[in-house]
Structure 1
Amino acid sequence: MSTVAVTRLVEAPVATVWRVFTDLPSRCERLSTVIAVELLTQGPFGAGTSWRETRTMADGTEITEEFRVDECVSPERFVVSSPGIGAEYRMTYTFVPVLEGRHRGGTMVTVVQDGTPTAPAGRFLALVFGGLAARTVEGALRRDLDDLAAAA
């Protein structure tokens, strides 16, 4: 299993940041690599919410992934899972208010992605490309956090 964590300060209150991060229909406008979002469930964001998201990768190819909210404690954290090709991913987002200092009133957002290979090929690739894959994932998570922070 590999784990990648990224933390970013967002200069907005937790309630605002939570709304931006959980507004699934607006992901196309807010995330620079997302080109389509298809909601698979109705109702407010919470445990059980599912959607498909299509992104443009660095090489120009498109990839569509399905996501499901497994846990949700508004406005503190949510956990999303995604069955990938040869691996399963779990992303935990946490939102912590900044209570002191010059960034008081802001929010520290952390996303932790855990990836578990589910097929022999996935295990082999994780072994061979582990460091490169982690850096690629970290860059993608950081870009998403930056995009969403700009929208908050």
Structure 2
Amino acid sequence: MSTITVTKRIHAPKELVFKTVSDIKNFSNAVPDITNVEFLTEQEYGVGTKFRETRDMNGRKASTELEVTELVENAHIRIVSDTMGTVWDSLFTVEKKEDGTELTLIMDAKAYKLMSKIINPFMKGMMKKALEKDMVAVKNYCESNN
């Protein structure tokens, strides 16, 4: 599947947009498909935070364990998951623009199991659509809380 990039222009301050994507509690409030978040570490913010996210995916529940591996305040956050034979590496970046903030999500999927290498390319369109839906939800959340 390789890399998917989604960018949204959000009419809200960079700090609000970053706080929405970097604080897992805020992100789960912004994205309606996330039905539950369970922290697997005592810390709930920053590098080393691990959590299990449950989503409603087309009427089915799917849970994934994720870890925050990089965080530079008001700049970027990297969240990584190793699931079903693929390492999913998601990088959210925020950049101040004249009319608000540009939020970019770059998701890189590296399959290391044969079945994942076969199936992942067929999932790319569905994944891009899901990521775009998440980004629209973040946009709406930030603009309504601005």
TM-score (norm: length of structure 2): 0.90
Aligned partners of 2:54 and 2:61 also within 8 Å: yes
CA deviations 1:39-92 (Å, max 9, x no partner) are 12233521111111000112x111000110111111100111001112110001
- Match in the other structure for 1:6: 6
Aligned partners of 1:7 and 1:109 also within 8 Å: yes
- Match in the other structure for 1:47: 47
- Match in the other structure for 1:94: 93
| Structure 1, unaligned runs of 5 or more | none
Aligned partners of 2:3 and 2:107 also within 8 Å: yes
1:151 Cα deviation from its structure 2 partner? 1.4
- Match in the other structure for 2:17: 17
SS in 1 for 2:128: helix
Report the Cα distance in structure 2 between the residues aligned to 1:46 and 1:121, rounded to whole angstroms: 33
Aligned partners of 2:19 and 2:26 also within 8 Å: no
Report the Cα distance in structure 1 between the residues aligned to 2:44 and 2:83, rounded to whole angstroms: 25
SS in 1 for 2:78: strand
CA deviations 1:89-116 (Å, max 9, x no partner) are 00011000003xxx2xx10000000001
SS in 2 for 1:91: strand
Matches within 5 A, 1:2-151: 2-43=2-43, 45-58=45-58, 60-99=59-98, 103=99, 106-126=100-120, 130=121, 132-151=122-141
Question: Residues 138 and 81 from structure 1, CA distance in 2 versus in 1: closer, same or farther, beyond 3 angstroms?
Answer: same
Report the Cα distance in structure 1 between the residues aligned to 2:115 and 2:130, rounded to whole angstroms: 23
CA deviations 1:24-53 (Å, max 9, x no partner) are 224443212111001122335211111110
Q: Which runs of 4+ in 1 moved over 4 A?
A: none
TM-score (norm: length of structure 1): 0.87
Aligned residue identity for 2:69: D
% identical equivalent positions: 25
Report the Cα distance in structure 2 between the residues aligned to 1:121 and 1:44, rounded to whole angstroms: 33
Report the Cα distance in structure 1 between the residues aligned to 2:118 and 2:125, rounded to whole angstroms: 17
Report the Cα distance in structure 1 between the residues aligned to 2:138 and 2:118, rounded to whole angstroms: 33
